[in-house]
């Protein structure tokens, strides 16, 4: 059977009707979801695809492994706290970690613009090596393409990783129940705002660093303590905490209620967001993760996270309730409430 024939048999209904690709389709919010669910999923996964997670779980000869891929187009290439090379490794390690797997091997593709100074490339490759060593993952291979000057912006990196499932934990939006608690590993918005300021387009300065890091040690600490009580995890990168939790709310049909005063946000991030009219809940992170933990494990899980290195600022930021159905609500101490939707549009392009 020809490849086309297979595809036709396989294909679900295409719902993506937009005439051209906009920046918003890459922003990780609503438009991205429409593109993935409306075009990629029906054509590539057929109609049987379930909720889309951070990594795919596949079975080879009876062994289950997790697999994921991610591209990095961040501008500028380096910024306070990190750079594209280290981001490319940690991003993939994190996608695997929050799907309940420890990254074992990564392959890398570089797309380089002719004219890129070698010392910049070398620095990024070194950063990748160091990040891989720290995360205990091997870089197993790679590919390089070079395009004409002006046809790419310096360098793009794509990483694909496979990981071994961490025993004793099963991640699924469907297992989330009313009464479960929402845990967050630390302050949000550091990465997105750092990148925005590093571009120098705003006359704003702040003492702020990207939060980029591997979250695997924290995930392991959480799983060791709470085990099967951990129902769902996600690293809130593009689109931020709001988008990740809206995806969860949609996938499980329940409401996520956040307590505003519990959400950790540094003053520099809050200040920048106030000035620019952004919501920290929509800002990207590269070194944090969200976890839904059953009520009976939540307190102990939070203590375990806080006791782990880098987890001191973890918080329980909310809980799952029966309503509002499939939506995320923020409540304040004085009794005000507001809905928080997924990111719409793209206020901050090319942050990772």
Partner 1 sequence: MKFVDEFRDPELIMKTAEEIRRLTDPNRHYRIMEVCGGHTHAIYRFGLNDVLPKNIDLIHGPGCPVCVLPMGRIDDGLSIAAQPDVIFAAFGDMMRVPGAHGSPLEHKARGMDVRIVYSPTDAIKLAKANPEKHIMFFAIGFETTAPSTALTLQRAKAEGLPNFSVFCNHVTIIPAIRAILDSPDMRLDGFIGPGHCSTVIGCRPYEWICADEAKPIVVCGFEPLDLLQSIMMLLRQLRDGEAKVENQYKRVVPWEGNRAALKAMNEVFQLRPYFEWRGLGFISQSALRIRDSYAQWDAERRFNVPGIRITDPKAAQCGEVLKGVLKPAQCKLFGRECTPESPIGALMVSSEGSCAAFYNYEHRKPVTISNANASLASVV
Sites of contact with partner 1 (CB under 8 A): 20-23, 30-31, 201-203, 257, 261, 267, 270-271, 274, 276-277, 323-324, 327, 329, 331-341, 344-345, 347
Q: Closest approach of Cβ 338 to partner 1, in Å?
A: 4
Q: Closest approach of Cβ 345 to partner 1, in Å?
A: 6
Instruction: With CA atoms as reference, report the closest residue to 347 among 192, 212, 194, 236.
Output: 192
Q: Closest approach of Cβ 238 to partner 1, in Å?
A: 16
Nearer to partner 1, 145 or 199 (CB): 199
H helix and E strand count, the chain: 9, 14
Specify burial of residue 323 (Cβ count, 10 A radius: 0-12, 13-18, 19+): exposed
Q: Closest approach of Cβ 53 to partner 1, in Å?
A: 23
What are the two backbone dihedrals, phi and then psi, of residue 213, each rounded to the nearest 5 degrees? -170, 165
Nearer to partner 1, 135 or 257 (CB): 257
Cβ(139)–Cβ(128) under 8 Å? yes
Give the HSE-up count for residue 272: Cα atoms under 13 Å, Cβ half-sphere. Answer: 26
What are the two backbone dihedrals, phi and then psi, of residue 328, each rounded to the nearest 5 degrees? -115, 130
Nearer to partner 1, 76 or 324 (CB): 324
Nearer to partner 1, 148 or 201 (CB): 201
Residue with tokens 């991003």: 91
Nearer to partner 1, 30 or 213 (CB): 30
Instruction: With CA atoms as reference, report the closest residue to 123 among 160, 82, 152, 162.
Output: 82
Nearer to partner 1, 137 or 320 (CB): 320
Nearer to partner 1, 56 or 204 (CB): 204
Q: Closest approach of Cβ 333 to partner 1, in Å?
A: 4
Q: Closest approach of Cβ 23 to partner 1, in Å?
A: 7
Order of strands, sheet of 315-321, starting from the edge strand that comes earlier in the sequence: 230-234, 290-293, 181-184, 315-321, 255-259, 328-331, 337-340
Q: Closest approach of Cβ 351 to partner 1, in Å?
A: 15
Cβ(207)–Cβ(271) under 8 Å? no
Q: Closest approach of Cβ 274 to partner 1, in Å?
A: 7
Nearer to partner 1, 60 or 333 (CB): 333
d(CA 258, CA 206): 27
d(CA 97, CA 66): 9
């Amino acid at each position: 059977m020809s490849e086309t024939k297979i595809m036709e048999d396989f294909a679900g209904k295409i719902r993506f009707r937009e005439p051209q690709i906009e920046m918003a389709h890459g922003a990780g919010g609503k438009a991205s979801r429409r593109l993935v669910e409306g075009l990629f999923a029906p054509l590539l996964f057929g109609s049987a695809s379930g909720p889309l997670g951070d990594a795919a779980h596949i079975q080879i000869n009876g062994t289950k492994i997790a697999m994921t891929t991610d591209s990095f187009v961040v501008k500028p290439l380096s910024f306070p706290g990190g750079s594209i090379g280290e981001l490319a490794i940690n991003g993939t390690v994190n996608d695997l970690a929050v799907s309940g797997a420890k990254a074992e091997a990564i392959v890398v593709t570089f797309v380089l613009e002719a004219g890129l100074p070698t010392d910049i490339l070398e620095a990024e490759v070194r950063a990748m090596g160091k990040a891989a060593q720290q995360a205990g993952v091997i870089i197993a291979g790679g590919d390089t393409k070079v395009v004409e000057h002006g046809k790419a912006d310096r360098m793009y990196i794509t990483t694909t990783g496979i990981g071994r499932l961490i025993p004793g934990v099963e991640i699924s939006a469907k297992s989330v129940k009313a009464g479960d608690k929402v845990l967050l590993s630390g302050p949000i918005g550091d990465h997105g705002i750092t990148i925005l300021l590093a571009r120098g387009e705003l006359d704003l300065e702040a003492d702020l660093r990207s939060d980029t890091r591997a979250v695997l040690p924290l995930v392991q600490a959480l799983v060791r303590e709470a085990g099967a009580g951990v129902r769902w995890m996600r690293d809130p990168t593009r689109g931020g905490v709001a988008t990740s939790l809206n995806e969860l709310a949609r996938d499980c049909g329940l409401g996520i209620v956040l307590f505003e005063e519990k959400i950790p946000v540094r003053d520099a991030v809050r200040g920048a967001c106030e000035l620019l009219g952004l919501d920290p809940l929509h800002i990207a992170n590269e070194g944090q993760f969200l976890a839904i933990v059953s009520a009976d494990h939540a307190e102990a899980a939070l203590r375990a996270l806080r006791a782990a290195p880098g987890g001191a600022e973890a918080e329980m930021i909310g809980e799952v309730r029966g309503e509002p159905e499939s939506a995320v609500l923020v409540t304040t101490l004085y009794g005000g409430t507001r809905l928080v939707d997924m990111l719409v549009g793209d206020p901050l392009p090319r942050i990772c």
